[in-house]
Amino acid sequence: MLILSITQVAYSRDPRYIAHKAEAYLKSSGIGDTFFVGPEAEFFIFDSIRYDQNEHEGYYHIDASEGRWNTGRDEGPNQGYKLRYKEGYYPVPPSDKLQDIRSEMLLTLQQIGVPMEVHHHEVASGGQSEIGMRFAPLVKMADSMMKFKYVIKNVAYLNGKTATFMPKPIWNDNGSGMHVHLSIWKDNRNLFAGDGYGGMSQTALYAIGGILKHAPALLAFTNPSTNSYKRLVPGFEAPVNLAYSRRNRSASVRIPMYHSSEKAKRFEFRCPDATSNPYLAFSAIMMAALDGIQNKIDPGDPMDKDIYELSASELLSIRQTPASLREALTALKNDHQFLLKGDVFTQDVIDTWIEYKLAKEVKPLDLRPHPWEFMMYYDI
C-alpha cells in the first residue's frame, strides 16, 4: 500500500490500501476470514490498431489476421480459416491463430509467480482470448490481475501484435468481460457450500441478494468505462439481467453447475470487465456480498427459464444493468452506504470517483460527434 513519506500514514485514495481495509473488515465482521476471487479476464489480440479524434475527424481501424472481415483480402495467398462472428469459441489451429502466443503469455505469468489454469480462444472473431488464473484471496488476486494485464500487453507487443482489455472494440460481435467467481471462507470452511439452490448455502444466497440489490452502484467500479456499456446490451450473451441462475448466461449472477465438491462451491458475478481497477472492483463486490449476508437480503426466485424466450411482460419484471456509465455513477451516488462500512471506502473516495469519471470520461464523450451520426443525419 502507498504510505505518504512525510506523515507515514496510508493514502486514503490508494486502491490497494482500500483492498487491505476490505480484507480487514471481513475478518472484523465475524462472518469470514478469507474472500476468494477468481476472475476470468477476456481480451483481444489484434495485428494493428489505428484511431484518432480531433476537430475535423474521428475514426478507428482494427485489423486481425483471423478477422472475418478479411475473408476477401489478398494476403498472397489468403489461406482462409477466418473465424465467423460469434463462432470463435474453442476452435483449434489453424482457425485459432493465437494458440502459441497465448501459451507464451501463460508460461510467462507462471514464471513470475502467478498460478495459471487454462487458456482458449473466445467467442468473437478477430482475436478474442481468455487466460484463466487460479483463484486467490482478494489483495493477492488483485496484485495478480495487475501483473496479468502487464504481461498480456507486453508479450503481445514483443510478438508484433497489440492486446486490449477494452470491453467492446468490435461492433456486432461479443465483447470482453471479466466474470468474477467468489466465495467466503472461515476457518478453512467454504461458507457458500450448502444444500440450497445450485448447492448453495443460505449465506451464499444472501450474498447473491446483496450483489443483485447493489449491482447498479457496483458497476460504477466493476464497469468503469463508457465503452463498458457497449458490451452490456442484449443479444451477445451479455449479463444484462439482474437475476441469478444455474444456466442462463445472460443472468448477472450464475452458479456453475459442473463443480460438486464443497471446496469448489461458488457463484460468479458476470457483469464486470477488465477496464476496472481490481483492488476497487473486488473490494466493492465483497462489500455488497457482506451487506447481503448481514441484512439477510433475499435474492428472490432464480431465473431458470430461457431469458431470450421470455415475453415482453415477463421481461419487465426483471431489473437490468445500467445502460451507461452516467447511470451507474448516479446509482453509486444514491447507493454507497454499504461501501462505507468499516471505513473501507470513504466518502471522499466515492465523491472523487464520481466527479472524475463525469468530468474526464462521460462529459468529454458527450461533446464529440460519433461517426454513425453522420450516417444517420448528414443528409437531413
Minimum mean pLDDT among 84-98, 166-180, 230-244, 315-329: which range?
230-244
* The pairing of beta strand 251-254 with beta strand 116-121: unpaired
Q: How many CB atoms lie within 10 A of CB 89?
A: 15
Cα–Cα distance, 341 to 320 (Å, whole number): 26
pLDDT-derived band at 212 (thresholds 50, 70, 90) equals very high
Instruction: Please state, as a whole number, how many other Cβ atoms lie within 10 Å of the Cβ of residue 202.
Output: 15
Computed from CA positions of residues 326, 331, 336, 339, in that sequence, does the dihedral angle turn out positive or negative? negative
Set of cell numbers at residue 256: 456453475
Are the CB atoms for 302 and 284 separated by under 8 Å? no
User: How far, in Å, CA of 209 to CA of 243, rounded?
Assistant: 9
- List CB contacts of 180: < 8 A, sequence separation 6 or more: 37, 38, 39, 40, 222, 268, 269, 270, 272, 281, 282, 285
Which tens digit of pLDDT belongs to each residue from 49-88?
999 999 999 999 999 999 999 999 999 999 999 999 999 9
Cβ–Cβ under 8 Å, residues 236 and 174: yes
Query: What's the confidence (pLDDT) of residue 123?
Result: 94
Q: Is the pLDDT of residue 31 over 70?
A: yes
**Cα angle, residue 275 at apex, residues 82 and 139 outer, rounded to 5°:** 120
pLDDT average, residue stretch 89-101:
94
DSSP, residue by residue, 13-79: T-HHHHHHHHHHHHHHHTS-SEEEEEEEEEEEEESEEEEEE-SS-EEEEEE-TT-GGGTT---SS--
What number is the average pLDDT over the span 299-307?
A: 85
**Residue 224: strand, helix, or coil:** coil
Q: What is the mean pLDDT of residues 99-114?
A: 98
Predicted pLDDT of residue 121: 96
DSSP symbols for 70-126: GTT---SS----PPPTT--SS--TTT---HHHHHHHHHHHHHTT--EEEEEE-SSTT
- Confidence (pLDDT) at 4: 66
Residue 12 has a CB neighbour count (10 Å cut-off) of 16
pLDDT tens for residues 316-339? 788 999 999 999 999 999 999 999
Concatenate the DSSP letters of all residues of 255-309 into one string: --SS--SGGG--EEE----TTS-HHHHHHHHHHHHHHHHHTT----S---S-GGG
